[in-house]
Chains A and B, each alone.
Chain A
Amino acid sequence: MISLHEVSKSYSSGEGIFKAVESVSLTIREGSIHGIIGPSGAGKSTLLRMMNVLEPPDSGKVIVGGQDLTRLPESQLRVARRSMGMVFQQFHLLHNRTVSGNVAVPLELAGMSKRQRKERVEECLQFVGLQDKAKQYPARLSGGQKQRVAIARALAHRPAVLLCDEPTSSLDSVTTGEILNVLRHINETLGVTVVIVTHEMDVVKEICHEVSVVEQGRLTDGFALEERTARNVPRHKPSYRELLLGKAGVSDV
């Protein structure tokens, strides 16, 4: 699906050259949920941004759907990016547009007709369970709701991949669970490949099929987590008691 070949990126700062990513090769399997974990400043976000060339690598190749994105001219790169939705830690919604206006933006960019747009926006909002908030402005939403709008926006153009940069890092633990359920649902029902950059161990444990460990700009480890299916994942919303004490906490009551 996505493969990075020996990608490197360095920045020159005042005191010399900082190597953010150093010759990393990585393949994301189609249909998987792939976690990229590591401490802050390890280069995980840079790595993720290389996958849609928001961050052009200094060297190496970025192969998505059989084409090397680093060699594409800008106009074709823009088209290629439309098949890859992106979700951010700080949501990056347009605060001066309504929820449905935000979800419509990528469709407007693609030149979709107004009627089709309306239909697709409704579908996407329904998918993340926010159809009742369509006419509201993002300022009135909670963090979790904002992130769901951002996810609906990223899905609008029916992407094959969803790139998530710390999607739950500014959310509380319960909301994190909700967002992870949405991402898992997207992966299972729409077959969208999901790449998640995070520093939270629990996020990886909860939904990732495969994980890559990034430390100091290098890929230091990579392995598959035990096979997960929809069945062994708790579907109900866990209480704070459960989250803090585990299952034992529930039976204590």
Chain B
Amino acid sequence: MFDFSLMLEKFMDFRIQIAEAVGETFLMVGISVMAAILLGLPLGTMLYLTAKGQLRENATWSMILNGFVNIVRSFPFLLLVVFMIPFTRFLVGTAIGTIAASVPLAIVSIAIYARQVEQSLFEVPRGVVEAAQSMGASKLKIVYKFLYVEARSGLVLGLTTSTISFISYSTVMGVVGGGGVGDFAIRYGYQRFETELMAAVIVLMIVLVQLIQFTGSLISRWLDKR
């Protein structure tokens, strides 16, 4: 089907550009993962806590938070990137480049991971919360001494799944000059009819995703003592 030696040759020819593209992808995805952990985790926790029958049941907040997550996730991603240009410019001073591209990606990441967090927390048996309350734990302590402890393998698996989605989302970042592996494959491989080069980059991404999934599953299994 493909000429593998040609693929390798093309790959070597463009190794500097590819390395640069991989660096850009890592930067965009890295920022997104950080955003997911720092903001997606608390947001997901709030989604869980404000839901009906939970510790901080609050219909208004539940609606607002769910609304935010649903709206962000229902945007076709490319349109979100364009739509957010004014906000991006306000936040980082420019709408072009890898850092600027990370802004819409981070927003989507927060929404995606928040949902995963919410689901993982819902899987913790209710009784655990009740036991925590009977010990006189405050709501904050219930969250991080009970819920996060019991949900931790799910939280890691969710982050793994999310990270892989972030990589996929990051491939369209060429439109705002974000670069990255996907952009490279399209510009050098597809648009210049270097099919072998495109295939080589796809293989690279497959390997990358496999590695992430493998690591995530391993950590998750190691954390899971249930």
Contacts and interface: CB of A to CB of B under 8 A. Distances in A.
Given A96-B224, A96-B226, A97-B149, A82 B131 contact: no
B130 A88 contact: yes
A123 to B, nearest CB: 18
A94 interface: yes
B145 A81 contact: no
B138 A94 contact: no
Contact of B136 (A79, A92, A139, A163): A79
B150 to A, nearest CB: 6
Query: Among the interface residues A79, A84, A88, A94, which one has the most CB atoms of the partner chain B within 10 A?
Result: A94
Interface string A69-82: 00000010111111
Interface residue tally on B, bucketed by range: 20 to 34
Contacts of B226: 95-96, 139
Nearest to A102: B131
A88 B135 contact: no
B8 interface: no
Interface in B171-224: 223-224
A96 B135 contact: no
Given A90-B127, A92-B130, A94-B128, A82 B135 contact: yes
A105 B135 contact: yes
Contacts of A94: 128, 146, 149-150
Interface of B: 125, 127-128, 130-131, 133-138, 141, 145-146, 149-150, 152-153, 223-226
Interface of A: 52, 54, 75, 77-82, 84-86, 88, 90, 92-97, 105-106, 108-110, 137, 139, 157, 163
